A = this chain, B = another copy of it.
Amino acid sequence: MMAVSDIEEWKLDHSKAVSPQLRNVLRTRIIRNDLRPMSRLSEPELAKEYGVSRQPVREAFITLVEEGLLEVRPQRGTYVKRIDYEAVLNARFVREAVEADIVCKLAAEGSAALVKDLRGQISHQRAVADDTPEHFMELDEHFHRTLARAAGVGRSWDFLAQIKSQMDRVRFLTFEEFHISKLIDQHEQVADAIEQKSASRVEDAMRTHLREILSSLPRVQKLYPDHFEDSRGAIPGKSAQNSRRRIS
């Protein structure tokens, strides 16, 4: 829908409030690795670039600091944070816990209309699997959001979206590490299990699905070591992230 190169040229609508727009633009640029880790974002520079004053830029920074995408060192500069291995693992852990409960609710209450909707989305996903990865990620986002809304906890997904950015940064580093067709197959297994109203199967399917990133994360870190915080993860032996339930 929107290629990476276009992001750099996004213009702001001066008839609306500028700060929120700027916040979204910068967040997208960071997640898509257009703004590299450790690079400095000076307020006046970005202000000139987008034709606004420093204040909206400042206010946009605040939220991004809260999301762990930026780090401001007072009187020194504002920098794009490197990917925090621990933060990724924690975000993934939270996401697995929440979405596991979501699909369990759906196995109990899910309607046939939902299953039909999901299957339509899945076929749509297959159609764009070989398209740009950005396109699939949008559909993936929509798929998981649909599950949350169907379970009656749509606002929970809004919360998850805040921490998901940590995981998305990893994805955008190397799409090759993520086999899209495999992810779509897992989506299908989730839909199947919901249709069969099997709570245990749908839970296993979702937990397996959300653990895919665990296998690729160490390789991504090896490939782009300077994109990651120097913390542990270099010693990812048994990273205390194996969740409670043995999968199949």
Contact = CB atoms under 8 A, between A and B. Distances in A.
A188 interface: no
Contact of A86 (B107, B151, B155): B155
Interface in A43-84: 55, 58-59, 62-63, 66, 74
A90 B104 CA distance: 16
A51 to B, nearest CB: 20
Interface string A224-248: 0000000000000001110111000
| Centre residue among A19, A96, A155 by max chain B CB count within 10 A | A155
Contacts of A12: none
Interface residues of A, number: 44
B159 A108 contact: no
A156 interface: yes
A17 interface: yes
Contact of A100 (B66, B97, B151, B154): B97
A101 B55 CA distance: 42
Contact of A93 (B62, B74, B101): B101
A96 to B, nearest CB: 7
Nearest to A66: B63
Interface of chain A: mostly helix, strand, loop or mixed: helix
A159 B86 CA distance: 13
A162 B240 CA distance: 23
A169 interface: no
Interface of A: 17, 19, 55, 58-59, 62-63, 66, 74, 86-87, 89-91, 93-94, 96-98, 100-102, 104-105, 107-109, 151-156, 159-160, 162-163, 199, 239-241, 243-245
A102 B90 CA distance: 11
16 contacts: A59-B59, A62-B62, A86-B155, A90-B154, A90-B159, A93-B98, A93-B101, A94-B98, A94-B153, A94-B159, A94-B160, A104-B245, A152-B239, A153-B240, A153-B241, A199-B244
A101 B96 contact: yes
A66 to B, nearest CB: 6
A87 B158 CA distance: 10
A17 B240 contact: no
Given A59-B62, A159-B162, A101 B97 contact: yes
